[in-house]
Amino acid sequence: MGIKVKSVTEVLAKWLDVTPGRASYYEAGAAGAGADWEKGAADAAGAYKAGISAANIEQLFKGGIKRAGAGKYERKVKDVGVARFSQGVSAAGPDFAAGVTPFLDEISKLTLPARQPRGSEANYARVRDIGVALHKKRLALRAAGA
C-alpha cells in the first residue's frame, strides 16, 4: 500500500499560508553567509565543469525548458517580474556601476583611427578595436580571481 499523502490542494494552501511569514528565517539564515557561499561555489568548479560537460546535457537543458514552457515564463514575468523590476534595478545600482566601470575605463584609454565617410569599411576597424579591447578586459577580469 502506498504512503498516504495530503492532496496538492492542502499542501499548496499550507505553503501559501505559512511561507510568506518566514522571511525572518530567510534573512537570519542568509545574512552573513556570503563567505560560505563563495567558498562552496568556488569549490564546486569541478562539479560545474562535469555537469555542463555531461553527454546528454543539451537534452536535459532543452527538456527543462520544455517542461517549464512559455506559459510559465510569461506568467512569472507578469505576476512577479513586473512588480519587482524597479526595486531590483534600484538595488542593483552599485553592482551595475562596479561592473561597467572597468569597461568604460578601458574604452576611455583607446585611441581610434580617424572616422571615414559613412559606409567606409575603415570604420569597422574602430568597432573591432573596441570589441577586442573589451573582450581582453572581460577575460582579464574573469581570470583575476583564479
For 88-103, what is the mean pLDDT? 94
DSSP state of 78: I
Chain segment 51-94, per-residue pLDDT in tens: 999 999 999 999 999 999 999 999 999 999 999 999 999 999 99
CA atoms within 13 A on the CB side of 114: 2
pTM: 0.69
DSSP 79-141: IIIHHHHHHHHHHHHHHHHHHHHHHHHHHHH--PPPP-STT-TTHHHHHHHHHHHHHHHHHHH
For 133-142, what is the mean pLDDT? 94
Give the dihedral of Cα atoms 110, 116, 119, 125; nearest 10 deg: -30
Query: What element of type H or E holds 6?
Result: none
Give the three-state DSSP class for 1: coil
pLDDT at 146: 46
Centroid of chain to Cα 53: 20
